[in-house]
Structure 1
Amino acid sequence: MKLTKTNKQAGLTLIEITLVIAVLLGLISVLFIGVSAYKEGSNRAKCILNMSNVQKAVRAYQNLYEKSEGDTLALTDLVGTGKLIETAPICPSQGTYSVAGNVPPVGTVYLTCSLSASNDHVPNTVTGW
């Protein structure tokens, strides 16, 4: 004869809780990897946009001041208060920009990023630039 009545309570075992936590941690790690890839892609796009804007400023300066291909052109001629570009472009991935120093031929980039080889900070095409 049993004197005590045992009630089995519904709940999760330690293994089930561990499994749920492991799955959640896996999903969180996938999220961080995705965010990292998104950030790298947006930094690349911003860097290429900076190059494009400077290239347009070069062509505008060339037209306004009747410069020919090969004429000397410093970045300070384009960037500054009251000039074609108000503030100097900055690579969002901490790369450094270098300039050609001369008005480039059409299809040649004036501004290049130091991360062009490692992080693909280079436009797919520069036709018409």
Structure 2
Amino acid sequence: MKTFMRAGKLRPCRRLELARPFRSRRSLGLSLVEMSVIIFALVLLATLLLTTARAWLQGSDRAICIANIQAVQKGVRGFANMSGLGPGETVSGLEAKVVGAGNFFVELPVCPASGTYTLGGDQIPDLGTLYMTCSFEPTLNHVPEDIIGW
């Protein structure tokens, strides 16, 4: 212990302690109510995170599916333009002329949400009409909003 001299007398120096709230030995940990509140808050945050992640994944699946539909639509339009065909004309085996080795697509794209694609048959689609649609079109909105430029 340090000492200091005051008016000729040697006195021990006391250590200054900051004021602390009184805690007995029994209250050093967390109570059951405090622990329950903390666990509840963590579960709530985890639930919000999972819900947000699920919505993000559904949005990304929708975007990829629409990109697949757009690519096939443009492939069919490209084939029609290269062959001198117009909208509404029938081509036997149109799918085989667009999808396959050496064609616009090696294989037909797959819906990332495990949906199935339905092709429009052997007819070049009219402007504003899709050649390929997804089975999740009505439920998960796997349909583009504007297809005029396709």
Q: Measure how far apart 1:126 and its partner are.
A: 0.8
The letter for the 2-side match of 1:18 is S
The letter for the 1-side match of 2:144 is P
**Deviation digits for residues 79-98 of structure 1, max 9, x if unmatched?**
11211112211111111111
Q: Measure how far apart 1:64 and its partner are.
A: 1.2
Q: How many residues are aligned here?
A: 124
Q: Measure how far apart 1:7 and its partner are.
A: 3.9
Q: Measure how far apart 1:8 and its partner are.
A: 4.7
The letter for the 1-side match of 2:124 is V
TM-score (norm 2): 0.77
Structure 1: state its 5+ residue gaps: 1-5
| Aligned match for 1:50, one of 41, 58, 68 | 68
The letter for the 2-side match of 1:68 is G
- 2:38 matches 1:38: no
Runs of 4+ displaced beyond 6 Å: none
Distance 2:96 2:58 in 1: 29
Structure 2: state its 5+ residue gaps: 1-23
The letter for the 1-side match of 2:113 is S
Structure 1 partner of 2:99: 79
SS at match of 1:51: helix
Kindly indicate which of the two structures has a greater share of residues assigned to strand: 2
- Identity percentage over the alignment? 37
| Aligned pairs (5 A) from 1:1-129 | 7-8=25-26, 10-73=28-91, 74-101=94-121, 102-129=123-150
User: Whose radius of gyration is greater, 1 or 2?
Assistant: 2
Distance 1:127 1:117 in 2: 20
SS at match of 2:65: helix
Distance 2:106 2:31 in 1: 63
Distance 1:99 1:8 in 2: 73
The letter for the 1-side match of 2:100 is G
**Deviation digits for residues 43-72 of structure 1, max 9, x if unmatched?**
111110000000110111011111222223
Distance 1:104 1:10 in 2: 75
TM-score (norm 1): 0.88
